[in-house]
A and B are shown apart, each in its own frame.
Chain A
Amino acid sequence: MKHLPFWFLPCIAAAALLAQPAWGADNICGFRARGLDLNFGTLNPSVNAEVRAPLVTLTTFANQAGDCSNGNMTISVSGGNSRQMAGGGADGMGTINYTIVGLPVTLSKPGNAPPGNPGNGYVNWFTTGEVEGVVQWSAFADAPADSYTDSFTVVVNP
């Protein structure tokens, strides 16, 4: 067997590093949420009605290093769909409960990207549809006038 010389070892180590995709953590079978902010706008407690806010359009993607060729992926809200916004005003006391609807959702994987697609890594897009936030009137009927915020994590598995 013919062996490589010692001086070639650093070249192989460098090749191992270059094998990492240029787009790093994006190089998976995953999704992107477009229109990320969920904004309920101004809640008027004198109008007795629930308020629905379009959340995001979830769009799955795959690229050549991610395994999107078989099975399903599930997109869900980490910690569950029942959420709570907190007031940020001087009193700091108010909270408003709300719910995420449309998740979890199970989707067929869109298939892997063809090779030779370096750089952006986003291919095989398809849209899952709108996900909404819903706040019931009873949740803000007695809330102090204030600005309320929250954040949550949407996760796809596997």
Chain B
Amino acid sequence: MKTNRIVLNAVAAAVLASTAGFVAAADTQTVQVTASVKQVCKFFNAPIGAIAFGAIDPNVDTGDKTATVTVPFKCTTGFTPTITQGTIVPLKETVTNTTMAFTVDNFSVPAGTGFSAAVNATSTARISNTVYKDAVAGSYAGSIVLNINGGD
């Protein structure tokens, strides 16, 4: 019977210990976190700077008269956009309203590096010699619409 008493005491201690263990426990929760980054592009400092052909001298210049076109833009890192041309308004002389057509080559476009800093797409604008050789002297102005994909 003495043996029985010792065993019973041990069982009672086990019951108390199991309850006390919950009192000291801490609780935790795991939180899942998600996000996605959009693929997006924007022209930087639009409207972009003018395409300047400068002075054209039909007596001296030969071949196409060219001007460099630089278009700064920002894109999500790693995304290479496409820059396309929309409506072109030919160069027009302000007094006589005579016009000179111009064209723009396809753009060379680098991949975007994010929105901290802009990168430049480049191209060349051209006025054919056959267009400017008989042009009226004066100042001309025209325009071109550019589009970049990935806009929101």
Contact = CB atoms under 8 A, between A and B. Distances in A.
Contact of A65 (B22, B74, B113, B115): B22
B122 to A, nearest CB: 22
Contact of B34 (A9, A38, A56, A142): A38
Contacts of A127: none
Interface in A36-59: 36-46, 48, 55-56
A145 B39 contact: yes
A30 B23 CA distance: 10
A141 B116 contact: yes
B37 A151 contact: no
A12 to B, nearest CB: 5
Interface string B6-35: 011001001100110011111111111111
Given A25-B25, A66-B22, A156-B26, A94 B32 contact: no
Contacts of A156: 26-28
A20 B22 CA distance: 9
B interface, size bucket: 35 or more
Interface of A is mostly: mixed
Contacts of A3: 1, 4-5
B4 A6 contact: yes
Given A38-B34, A44-B38, A140-B37, A158 B26 contact: yes
Interface string A21-37: 10001011111110011
A100 to B, nearest CB: 9
Interface of A: 1, 3-4, 6, 9, 12-13, 15-16, 19-21, 25, 27-33, 36-46, 48, 55-56, 65-67, 78, 83, 85, 91, 94, 96, 98, 133, 135, 138, 140-158
Interface of B: 1, 4-5, 7-8, 11, 14-15, 18-19, 22-42, 74, 76-79, 113-116, 152
